[in-house]
């Protein structure tokens, strides 16, 4: 099956990144948000990043315009009516994701594949909101989407070979390297990464070292691009807590218990870069 037109539900940091890489790879893209303000913000993110690419001479102004001409922004999910693949990138709420999948199932053509960008939730639990279990899978991108090379491809027990193959071909066409994982909590990356981030918070709480020293230790000792606290701030304290909670609820694995400090930061609204404050300060002076 050939994918020509892609839909993306949600135009936040992840959704906008997915829209951008799809349009850059030549797909026609429909990007939806729940209101005009959020849609404008999402499309604005793409505009800013493409303008940077123009100023770095990675693309021409004409390329930028051609990429943007392939993107149709909408607040009406009915505009997904001609999509061959729709990827949802809404917030990590199973209730909302099920609603989105149920709506997409009614709107999209029978051949369309429905995918979730969820970082940790069960894809099958979303798929059951549709009447096309064989055409549902996880296509999990990483933040920032235009930079990160990986996609986790998640097959449920019901995903057909044809759907998995089409999902893999799509992800490769947008320039990503694909790893396949089963539909288990946290898949591969988050199952390994989240305990490491939470352990960094635990040793900070114990006073083993300062956050800057822990970050430098992981950057310079392991060649990680960011230390754990800078990475939590990039991913979002809310997202890290959400994934930890979701995996803990499924597995009862104590590695995923949220440390008190992180929970308190979540309560205070110190969510990282997106809120201007996390482990570090991002307020513009
Ligand atoms: N969107 C698009 N491009 C971006 C970007 C963004 N938000 N942030 C940086 N970039 C680009 C820059 O434009 C630059 O591109 P060029 O090399 O072409 O000029 C390149 O990335 C490097 O950026 P900088 O020089 O500004 O900064 P840097 O060297 O510190 O790199 C980084 C920034 C790429 C984000 C780097 O810090 C990094 O790789 N961090 C680790 C990110 C990571 O681990 N992500 C995974 C998070 S976990 C996840 O996503 C899974 C989940 O489910 C929660």
Which atom of ligand 1 is the closest one to the Cα of 56?
Answer: 19
Residue 212 falls in the annotated catalytic set: no
Residue 146 CB–ligand 1 contact under 6 Å: yes
Sign for the pseudo-dihedral over CA of 261, 246, 153, 101: negative
Q: How much is the pTM?
A: 0.95
Contacts of 40 (CB under 8 A, 6+ apart): none
Ligand 1 near 231 CB (within 6 A): yes
Evaluate: CB of 49 within 6 angstroms of ligand 1: yes
Domains of the chain: 5-182 (3.40.50.720), 190-268 (1.10.1040.10)
Cβ contact 229:211 at 8 Å? yes
User: Which residue in 169, 207, 156, 122 sits closest to 1, CA to CA?
Assistant: 169
Task: Say which of 32, 119, 120, 122 is annotated catalytic.
Answer: 119
Q: What is the pLDDT of residue 260?
A: 98
End-to-end CA distance of the chain: 52
Per-residue pLDDT tens, the chain, 285 aa: give them. Answer: 789 999 999 999 999 999 999 999 999 999 999 999 999 999 999 999 999 999 999 999 999 999 999 999 999 999 999 999 999 999 989 999 999 999 999 999 999 999 999 999 999 999 999 999 999 999 999 999 999 999 999 999 999 999 999 999 999 999 999 999 999 999 999 999 999 999 999 999 999 999 999 999 999 999 999 999 999 999 999 999 999 999 999 999 999 999 999 999 999 999 999 999 999 999 875
CA dist 71 and 195 (Å) reads 38
Distance 234 CA to ligand 1 centre (A): 9
Would you mind telling me the total number of residues written for the chain in this entry?
Answer: 285
> Rounded to the nearest whole angstrom, what is the distance from the C-alpha of residue 233 to the centroid of ligand 1?
13
Q: What is the sign, positive or negative, of the torsion defined by CA atoms of 138, 142, 146, 151? A: negative
How does strand 150-155 pair with strand 136-141? antiparallel
């Amino acid at each position: 099956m050939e994918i020509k037109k892609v839909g993306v539900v949600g135009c936040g940091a992840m959704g906008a990144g997915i829209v951008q890489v799809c349009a850059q790879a030549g797909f026609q893209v429909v990007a939806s948000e729940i209101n005009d303000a959020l849609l404008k913000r999402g499309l604005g993110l793409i505009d800013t990043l493409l303008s940077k690419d123009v100023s770095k001479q990675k693309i021409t102004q004409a390329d930028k315009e051609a990429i943007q001409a392939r993107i149709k922004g909408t607040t009406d999910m009915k505009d997904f009516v001609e999509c061959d693949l729709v990827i949802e990138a809404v917030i990590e709420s199973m209730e909302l994701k099920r609603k989105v999948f149920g709506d997409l199932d009614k709107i999209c053509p029978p051949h369309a594949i429905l995918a979730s960008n969820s970082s940790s939730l069960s894809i099958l639990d979303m798929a059951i909101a549709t009447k096309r279990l064989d055409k549902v899978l996880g296509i999990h991108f990483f933040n920032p989407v235009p930079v990160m090379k990986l996609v986790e491809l998640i097959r449920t027990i019901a995903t057909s070979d044809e759907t998995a193959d089409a999902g893999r071909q799509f992800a490769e066409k947008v320039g990503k390297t694909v790893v396949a994982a089963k539909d288990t909590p946290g898949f591969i990356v988050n199952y390994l990464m989240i305990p490491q981030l939470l352990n960094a918070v635990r040793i900070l709480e114990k006073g083993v070292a300062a956050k800057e020293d822990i970050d430098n230790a992981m950057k310079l000792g392991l060649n990680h691009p960011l230390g754990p606290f800078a990475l939590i701030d990039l991913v979002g304290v809310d997202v890290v807590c959400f994934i930890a909670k979701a995996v803990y609820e499924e597995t009862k694995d104590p590695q995923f218990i949220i440390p008190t400090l992180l929970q308190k930061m979540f309560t205070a609204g110190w969510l990282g870069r997106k809120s201007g404050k996390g482990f570090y300060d991002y307020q513009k002076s």
